[in-house]
Amino acid sequence: MREIKTCIFDMDGVICDTAKYHFYAWKKLGDRLGIVFTEQDNERLKGVSRMESLEILLSLSDRTYTEEEKLSFAKEKNENYVDYISAMDKNEILPGVLSVLEYCKKEGIKTALGSVSKNAGIILDRLKLWTYFDAVIDGTKVVRAKPDPEVFLKGAAETGTEPSCCVVFEDAYTGVEAARAAGMLAVGIGSEQALPNADFVIRGFEEMSAEQLMNRIRQF
């Protein structure tokens, strides 16, 4: 039976869905610059850094831009995004998440957030979730993006847990790679087709009770 002492959660696509707000923020910037940016274009931005995403957006234009302009655009996009997420509330927590967090608290299992977003704190504020986490590792604490395991290893360190006793919940291929590189069990949230590298995959936390989920993890 596997001993699980800490559960580490990614933010976007696991705790809540902020992907739409990234799209809205990029589209707002594109509209201002006269660039047509569609949801299909947005698919190319998944798992990509802010500056790389900006380059993809600007590649849809015939114009060339200076590095100074690009830095200004990236700042503008983030300001747009923060405006959107600042209007979030606890109704945007994905189904089943609270049940798992409450189960962990009841059973004495530590919890950590493992997100490379520098806006994770704002989202936790809006969702009223700070008290559920023993450690919050976000983009202000890490320098290397996933699939580097830094974010998850810091989560283990801050909760005083050996990586082998941690389970990570992730919805992205690169996030699963990071969890495995950290020596942790990786539970994918989504589809098996998108997450073939996960130890096992569930569609969402509402698929089973928190107790059933943790028992499955312990027996893996």
Q: Which residues carry out catalysis? A: 10, 12
| Cis geometry, peptide bond prior to residue 196 (ω within 30 degrees of 0) | no
Q: How far apart are CA 182 and CA 108, in angstroms?
A: 22
Question: Which residues make Cβ contacts (< 8 Å) with residue 201, sequence separation at least 6?
Answer: 187, 188, 189, 190, 191, 192, 195
**Considering only CA atoms, which of 205, 161, 158, 212 is closest in space to residue 184?**
161
23, containing H or E segment: helix 19-33
Per DSSP, what are the bridge partners of residue 185?
167
Find out whether 173 and 161 touch, Cβ atoms under 8 Å: no
